[in-house]
Structure 1
Amino acid sequence: MSSRSIVLEVNSLHVSMQTNRGLVHHAVQDSSFQIEAGKVLGIVGESGCGKSTTCMAILGLLPAPAQITNGSIKLRGKELVGLAQQQMRHLRGKELALILQNPMTAFNPTLTIGKQFTETLRAHQALSRTQAEQKAMDAIRQMGLNDAEKIINQYPFELSGGMLQRIMIALSISMKPSLLIADEPTTALDSVNRYMVMKTFQKIKEEGHTAILLVSHDLGFIRKLADEVIVMKEGRVVEMSDTEQILSSPQNEYTKMLLDARLTADSRIEQESKPSETGHQRKSV
């Protein structure tokens, strides 16, 4: 592996949080991994295992009680740990992009989609307002949303969650970031929007310029997109391997339990969505 192709390199990362009772909670412990350009690294694990905390540490967006106590985070060889917030703000959006589970949190409800899109583009690229607006519409169309002229004049609350998610992805990838962090990007999407998002991620991957860190409970999404997967438990990486190895022949007992639980839950949901023999829909419990 050429060091020039490595986009993100995390070594021995420790993130700790001070509790109200003075106890120290180790949210991430001795976590190490790297991602090359054009590759996707998936992170799986139960809620609270440190997946999102790892992402926030990379972005320099840890909440006040949390702090990096040890380790290194390098983006294309540049150390991010200890970097001034002004420098991190410059990197976020331009070199580091984040796609959240809930797209409503990413948009200002008082501004139109077009204004938010163009202002973000112009903050990081030398574009006129007209050029930025045209680029915004092109990016929106690439996400399968054909009525771009109408969309840029609408407010976030006028659009569905699926549309907002695709617009957020369009904005993120239009910045051509070195690293794209996607935290549960398909959780709130229906099957059509999920398919569109998956195709977009596949296109980003094929272009080969951006590394993707993908956090998801959706094993189908992970299987189709991720080249490698790391499994986290209680802040630690307990297993890391190529995707097929992890999903088909896990070595760690926790990984086996996690996958069995996920597959069982998915099968149950699928079964409950089918009509019963009497023709009535099964009820979820």
Structure 2
Amino acid sequence: MQAPAALHMLAVIGTFTALFGSLAMLTQTSVKKSLAFSTVGQMGFMMLQCGLGAFSSALLHIVAHALYKAHAFLSSGSVVDIARAAWAPPLRDNRHPATAVGVSGGLALTAGAAGLFGLHPAEEPGIVLLGAILQMALTYLLWNALAHHAGPGQILRAVSIAAGTSLLYFALQAGFLGLLRGEVAGPMPVDSLFDGLLLSVVLAGFFAILMLQIQYPGPAAPRIWQAAYVHLYNGFYISTIANRVLDRCWPKSHRFDHRQPGGMPQ
């Protein structure tokens, strides 16, 4: 809180990491790689929350992520059977009016639930921002429910899940905010043009990822998307570049110079 420039830098790095991890995760065909890039994206979210001053939100996030990721790894072995048995939405018209209805409904739920618990975007931007991103993810659920003549029961179920999730999210955020009050720094309000611009960029970036997920290009996609797909699938080769830099700065011969000639450590 005493160094706004450092927090801004942390928020920018967190934004880039979250967007990068989320995009790379969409292209993975391996369960392990998908979970790994999901973790990268979630770590970026936590950095972004800290950069926006929402430290209590970041603590709640890491606890919830640990529980979710433990379940994801434990159930990853049966993911094939789950995918076969899961309901798959039918092909949809990309111009279906349910797209706008789903996005508008998700953002309205965010604003309503945040206001119900006394959380305001100008005072707790990190908390409300992540809530808006969560609701954009739930927009996919609402969109599927509203498309292709879904029945009233299916629509009511989707709206109930989205509303319940939003209320639970903001209830937990308000609870952690009160529990940690005085223990960690409080939320940092939006008081500069940079803060507002950063929030807008984050929302726009994750909205673009949502639309990419909804209208995921197939094999007949333009060449520019096919090229981007290859680079995203390989994580823009960041791990390869990091390994080469590590080998150059710290060669393997220096890493294992304490081993005996037979290869066993002393």
Higher helix share: 2
Pair in the same fold by TM > 0.5: no
* TM-score normalized by the length of structure 1: 0.25
Which has the larger Rg? 2
Higher strand share: 1
* TM-score normalized by the length of structure 2: 0.26
